[in-house]
Structure 1
């Protein structure tokens, strides 16, 4: 099990990178239910770079709040590359942030399919003007374990994205 110290270490790196550059970010979360935003705002001073978090658990919220296309939701499903890419773009547009991280997955214990078994999670990082990177992962464990691993992976991916700019 990943410990909270891992999350805190990555949050500090993300916070330092954003603060140094005077940049801001927002989260667009589904299966993590706001856990990424919670982790980021646990750090004192995070209000200097963290604009907010959008928990868009339902397809309707993804469509109405983040402007994810109904076509992508219907054809690819909420747990897909096109959807997380559009979640990043929508979150940046809605918030005015410099960057966003998005996550959508099947945390379980139900909801998995042969194509997208429990533990399947899609991530995206970036912004429309700097590019969006998306990745698919599969995590083992119960609901809490899948979600915790997703939070760490999302934050590590964001840190890596920011280091490359």
Structure 2
């Protein structure tokens, strides 16, 4: 069931004649799927790339390998880089990247525990919003909270364009 905030964002994108695309690591396409359920999604949704593995970030989204080595695949630096690289693969007005740790086995540390998520929106190569977040719960809950927060960030940005 598509949340009210997502429906609002879809209407705002249509009203402002803007398109959006997603590069999703930790959410693995769930955000793109959520947006595809909104009425008239074809008017604003360009597509999405699930870039779960680092090689997809490097090969398809042109993220420098050294950036991943220096900051880890789950970092704000890499999240911004996948959003910027996305515009080459799927041209759109707004690009949103998401990385993070929904379960053990990534780059988690005491300073960056499981539940740490990164969201970055870009436009014309510049960040329009970026957030480092932490959510408690199981993998599914972390993903759901991240998707909802992304909707809020995008809504706030679109409202700022008035």
Which whole-Å deviations, capped at 9, do the CAs of 1:51-110 have from their partners, x for residues lacking one?
A: 101100011001111111111100001111111111111112221100011110000144
1:83 is matched with 78
**After the TM superposition, which parts of structure 1 deviate over 3 Å for at least 4 consecutive aligned residues?**
129-132
> TM-score normalized by structure 1?
0.90
Any gaps of 5 or more consecutive residues in structure 1? Answer: none
Residues 88 and 132 in structure 1, CA contact (< 8 A), matched pair in contact too: no
Any gaps of 5 or more consecutive residues in structure 2? Answer: none
Query: Root-mean-square deviation (CA), in Å?
Result: 1.5
Which stretch of the first structure deviates more once superposed, 89-98 or 31-40? 89-98
> TM-score normalized by structure 2?
0.92
Alignment pair present for 1:30 and 2:28: no
Which whole-Å deviations, capped at 9, do the CAs of 1:13-64 have from their partners, x for residues lacking one?
A: 1111110111111011011111100110011210111010110001100111
CA shift for structure 1 position 130: 5.4
Structure 1 pair 109–142 and aligned structure 2 pair: CA distance change class (3 A): farther
Mapped to 2, the partners of 1:54 and 1:10 lie a distance apart of 22
Greater per-residue helix proportion: 1
Which whole-Å deviations, capped at 9, do the CAs of 1:88-136 have from their partners, x for residues lacking one?
A: 1111222110001111000014433223210011110121355442210
CA shift for structure 1 position 9: 0.8
